[in-house]
Structure 1
Amino acid sequence: MLFGYDTASFGGILANAGFIDQFGTLDPTTGEWAFASNDTSLLSSIPFVGKFLGCLLAGPAIERFGHRMVFFGLSVISILGIIIEITAADSANGSGRFAQFIVGRVIVYISVGLVEVDVTTYQAEIVPAPFRGLVVVSLQLFLNAGTILATGVNKAFSDYTTAVGWKVVTAIQFIFPLLMIAFTLFIPSSPRWLLSKDRTEDAVASLSRLRSQHEVDSGHCEIEIAAIREALQEHVHKASWWSLVRGTNLRRTALTLVYYFFQQTTGQAFVSTYQTTFYRENGYASNAFLYPVINSVLSFLSVVPAMYMVDRLGRRWTLLISYSLQAFWMYLLAGLGERANKTGTQSNTIVAAFMLFAFSYNMGSASIPYLLGSEIPNSAVREKTQAIGTSWNVVWAFVTNYSIPFMIDNIHFKVGWVFGSISIVAFAFTFMFLPETKGRALEEIDAIFKVKFNPFRSSEVQYAEAEYRVGVLEGEKEKEDLKPESTWNERSTTDVSHV
């Protein structure tokens, strides 16, 4: 919610009269304050430098200090950045300290980068395989919940012409880091992270807090930790950055990077950060603050079927559906938008296409990259891979956020042709190169990447006995296609028969 609220609230703040009067430039001919395209681009894109640093530092920080300590640290950083933002202007018009506000945004975005890696890797490591997709994809649900809150607050303060409006919108962000500090006191450390520190007993104790009392009493947790350690073998401890491009890790790192690229370049910034500005400049000014509220609610609702689909249909099919619909709505928006003298129906269809794109995007391609980045990498490089992937994501977020104002000014609705075509490329890439990982324990995914993927036939995956055992212990239901390298012997069967 910290991430979703900040992104969406700033989109409204950019169009808030009080903010414009304090940080904009006075036009002597009209006597009005306004932002030049370059100022808008700087306000939107420079903060991603902070997010880049946060993402890049998150991997080593989590490996060294653990997820819980990073949650505490990023919360403090977020609070500091919000204070700097709010104090960047006094009450008079033109009193805004532009550089200070950008510094505050950069600091807030450091915490956003840290939380993006910390949440996803933590979720992936503590959640059993059958519903790992549902839980990690829920990140997008709460991100959109933050967006709904932000657009509602923006609407409530849209008529304020003083600093009170934008400062209240900004100050509401204090809620999220304060809640994070409070509730992090009650969560256990990741058992897999504890194993990487050779703290086996602590790993068992941590897993015991994540499993039912029956499983704890039956000795399930000791067996599962032993199986995870055996399956990981030489990958129990964290590896170097160089390991990201060694062996099967190269393929997994590449997939992570590609999907974070698609997440940013298929049009998400166009329909999130710049939607209010776009509506105001293209004939929808009267509803420029209302439409984003509707859009946010639809985006929030779209994540619910995604949370179901990702573990039922799988990652591949959910992405294929999402990308195809994204392309369709962007092409429709571009085709109708270029028409002169549009009818009322055509104008309404453009707005609908805009909103349905957001619905389709949030249904899969918005959240699944986070899931893939947290479950595809090997345990030894999971945090580093996710850190590199999200950092790469930030680079393209910077590029798109900086470019879109100029694209809107110069090609208007034709931006739909650009983003729709990238969605088509993403569809083709997913079909050709992404193996299915639904319902597989993290240790079983290692085996999937040891064989070459062919989209036209099933891959013959051979699972090691320990990998197979972790999958069973995590509660997988469908094991028909699993082929362990050796038959489960009598000892192994007896060990888990009571689970």
Structure 2
Amino acid sequence: METDEKQAEKADVLHSEVLVDSDLMNDAFDGENREHEMSTWEAAKKHPWACLWAFTMCFTIVMESFDMFLNGNFVALPAFREKYGVLVDGNDWQIPTKWQSSLFQAGQCGAFVGVFLAGPVTNRLGYRWTTIFALMLMNATIFVSFFANSLTLLVVGQALEGVPWGFFIANSPAYASEIVPLSLRGACTATLQMSWSIGSIIVAAATYGYNKRNDEWAWRVPLALQWIFPTPLLILIFLAPESPWWLIRRGRKAEALRSIERLGNKDPEQSQQALAMMERTVEIEAQMGGSPSLLDLLKGTDLRRTIITCLIYASQNFAGNLIANQATYFFQQAGMSSDRAFELNLINSCLQLVANIISLPLASAFGRRTIFLCGAVVNITLLLLLGIVASITQNAATNYVQAILGIIISFVFAGSLGPIAYTIISETSSVRLRALSTGVGRAAYYVAEIPMIYLASQMLNPTGWNLAGKCGYVWAGTACVCFVSAYFFLPELKDRSYREIDILFNRRIPARKFKSTVIDVRDNE
């Protein structure tokens, strides 16, 4: 009997005080219509501070990127390999596959813990204070890696650093998507991939500059560079406004209104309309689901949304991206000299940043589904070509072709699959479960990445399978799985308000019909 009453209470959303307040609902209608009518350029001009704070939060990802690419370069540093490696074929030092994989996997294991902690902590403290706590933790854990004098201690240091990474990657896309207007969601969340590229450029430049050193400072100086990020970011995040969506979920409407005004809505009427629009969506979701919990991610239509988030996040490890993460080592195994490999890695990192910049207008102009599927097709083709080139008789020309194909694959990923994935996962979850959903989605990423890192190391390492460019066949196969999954399960969410997205999922609309389905501004499902 009690269960029936609870179900009736959840279903009867129209009896909510918010939803029967005619003035508030009219404001909500006007606020949502205004967001739909606002162009990308108009939104950027009216909300420059929202764009700045979104980018600042996304920039925390530069620390995970920095460390991830740093480990990929360590295994290529001659001094590091001679210190911790084994002699292969009597004339070349290599880090054993098990330690190479451990260096790559340790941080991801720590981040796996961090993303599960991020959701509950963020629901309680908010995005700002949770991120500030993680930045303080990051400052402390860098000490362990910097002073490590063995591979074992370095692996432990990486695992500890991974915990705050989990907080950053769980919170950044959610916060960015909540503070900017609808037309800017794609571009602002896509800047997460830009932060990855900035981190890789700094690493590439540092390791290129120090790769000729034959002492411990060849890797300790790049490790120390990690300290340049947390403190300035901590100060900026402290000054940033909290997400108004989070404040409304906590019942702090006056603070939410001030946050909306700080983010760019200076006109009192427009600010009130934006607040009403958020109140309406939050109230509908609250009536349908109550207080958020991890178990809610597996219930009803939220299960479908969780699966999509996990699939898209995990797919980043299957479309050839791990070639970019180990680019320097890949170039060496493709036949490049050590110096040339580090030069190519720096070029590769800079081109990824160019691709990220190109992706920003693409995310505003084209649908999420379109960009993802097209990027997957192009990379599948390039990966097959890479495998074919590596399979023929090898010479200097084929070595360079493999290196160039590796760079192009990274470029395509950085301009399509990489950035658009962050947009998709930030939009797919309900507002009520967003902090939890982005964390669990990233956990799926790490679950997929940890074995894939081992596979990537095994394929490239001379002490493993020594496949070099032939790994393109393997990654082309896994990228095909990503394409098929996205074709059948990935809906088009571009230009949809969070209320509209909720309704589309609640109606169980097939993924390929999301774009054509019409939702009335007065629907309160």
Structure 2 counterparts to residues 63-462 of structure 1, below 5 A: 63-89=123-149, 97-213=150-266, 215=267, 218-236=268-286, 238-272=291-325, 274-286=326-338, 287-342=340-395, 344=397, 346-408=398-460, 409-410=464-465, 411-449=467-505, 450-453=507-510, 455=512, 459-462=516-519
The letter for the 2-side match of 1:104 is G
Post-superposition offset of 1:142: 1.9
Verify the 8 A CA contact 1:16 1:161 in the aligned structure 2: no
* Separation in 1, partners of 2:385, 2:91: 39
Post-superposition offset of 1:302: 0.7
Change (3 A) 1:57 1:285: same
* Separation in 1, partners of 2:320, 2:91: 35
The letter for the 1-side match of 2:509 is K
Deviates more, 1:352-361 or 1:454-463: 454-463
1:345-369 C-alpha deviation (Å, 9 max, x unpaired): x333222111110011111211222
Secondary structure of the equivalent of 1:396?
helix
1:292-329 C-alpha deviation (Å, 9 max, x unpaired): 11111111111122111112111011112211111111
* Separation in 2, partners of 1:374, 1:362: 18
The letter for the 2-side match of 1:452 is I
1:15-40 C-alpha deviation (Å, 9 max, x unpaired): 22332344335x59959864211111
Change (3 A) 1:281 1:127: same
Verify the 8 A CA contact 2:500 2:519 in the aligned structure 1: no
Change (3 A) 1:228 1:457: closer
% identical equivalent positions: 24
* Separation in 2, partners of 1:341, 1:392: 38
* Separation in 2, partners of 1:305, 1:35: 36
| Count of paired positions | 455
Post-superposition offset of 1:342: 3.6
Deviates more, 1:156-165 or 1:29-38: 29-38
Change (3 A) 1:84 1:129: same
Post-superposition offset of 1:101: 1.2
Secondary structure of the equivalent of 2:417?
coil
Post-superposition offset of 1:11: 1.5
Verify the 8 A CA contact 2:387 2:471 in the aligned structure 1: yes
Verify the 8 A CA contact 2:70 2:203 in the aligned structure 1: yes
Verify the 8 A CA contact 2:249 2:282 in the aligned structure 1: no
Change (3 A) 1:342 1:383: same
* Separation in 1, partners of 2:394, 2:431: 57
Secondary structure of the equivalent of 1:266?
coil
Verify the 8 A CA contact 1:453 1:459 in the aligned structure 2: no
Verify the 8 A CA contact 1:447 1:463 in the aligned structure 2: no
* Separation in 1, partners of 2:88, 2:302: 58
* Separation in 2, partners of 1:321, 1:332: 17
> What is the TM-score of this pair, normalised by structure 1?
0.87
Post-superposition offset of 1:103: 1.3
The letter for the 1-side match of 2:442 is T
Post-superposition offset of 1:436: 1.1
* Separation in 1, partners of 2:344, 2:492: 36
Match of 1:14 among 75, 92, 97: 75
Secondary structure of the equivalent of 2:354?
helix
CA RMSD across the alignment? 2.1
Post-superposition offset of 1:381: 0.8
Change (3 A) 1:29 1:370: closer
Post-superposition offset of 1:463: 3.7
> What is the TM-score of this pair, normalised by structure 2?
0.82
Post-superposition offset of 1:437: 1.0
The letter for the 2-side match of 1:49 is C
Change (3 A) 1:276 1:60: same
Verify the 8 A CA contact 1:451 1:461 in the aligned structure 2: no
Secondary structure of the equivalent of 2:495?
coil
Query: Where do 5+ consecutive residues of structure 1 fail to align?
Result: 90-96, 468-484, 486-499
Change (3 A) 1:137 1:420: same
1:163-189 C-alpha deviation (Å, 9 max, x unpaired): 112111011011111121111121000
1:257-298 C-alpha deviation (Å, 9 max, x unpaired): 1111211122211222x2222222331124111111111111
Secondary structure of the equivalent of 1:423?
helix
Secondary structure of the equivalent of 1:88?
coil
Equivalence for 1:59: 119
Deviates more, 1:77-86 or 1:386-395: 77-86
